[in-house]
Amino acid sequence: MTNILNEIGIENYIFLSVILFCIGVFGVLYRRNAIIVFMSIEIMLNAVNLLFVAFSTYHQDAQGQVFVFFSMAVAAAEVAVGLAILVSIFRNLGSIDINNLKNLKG
C-alpha cells in the first residue's frame, strides 16, 4: 500500500480530492434541484474521506481511517434529516426546485 502511495505521490491524492470537493461546491452553488444539491454535498464529504484515508496511509497512522467512520456516520445522519425536510417541502409545495423557495426576503 505504501509503495503505491510512494509511486503516485500524496500530492496527486490532494489534487484529486480538491477537484472532487470543488465539483461538489459548484454543484451546491449552481444546481437548482434539491436532490442534486444533496448529492453534491455528499461528493464534498466523500472527497474529504478519500483524502483522510490517503493521509492516514501517508502517516502510517490509523486515526485518519477511524475519523472516516465518524464522518460517514455524520453524513448519513445529515442526509436523513435533509431528506425528511425535503419530503415535508414536497408535501407543501409539490416540487423540490430551490427556486420556488422565495417566501423569506427582506
Site residues for other proteins per CB under 8 A: 10, 14, 17, 21, 24-25, 28, 34, 37, 41, 44-45, 47-48, 51-52, 55, 58-59, 61, 63-64, 66-67, 70-71, 74, 77-78, 81-82, 84-86, 88-89, 92-93, 98, 101, 103-106
For the bound state, the minimum distance from the C-beta of residue 9 to other proteins, rounded and expressed in Å, comes to: 13
| Neighbour count for residue 34 (Cβ, 10 Å) | 20
Return the bridge partners of 97, or none.
33
For the bound state, the minimum distance from the C-beta of residue 3 to other proteins, rounded and expressed in Å, comes to: 20
Q: Which lies closer to other proteins via its Cβ, residue 7 or residue 68?
A: 68
33 SS3 class: strand
Radius of gyration of the chain (CA): 18
For the bound state, the minimum distance from the C-beta of residue 7 to other proteins, rounded and expressed in Å, comes to: 19
Question: Cα dist. 41→23, 69, 82 in Å?
Answer: 10, 17, 11
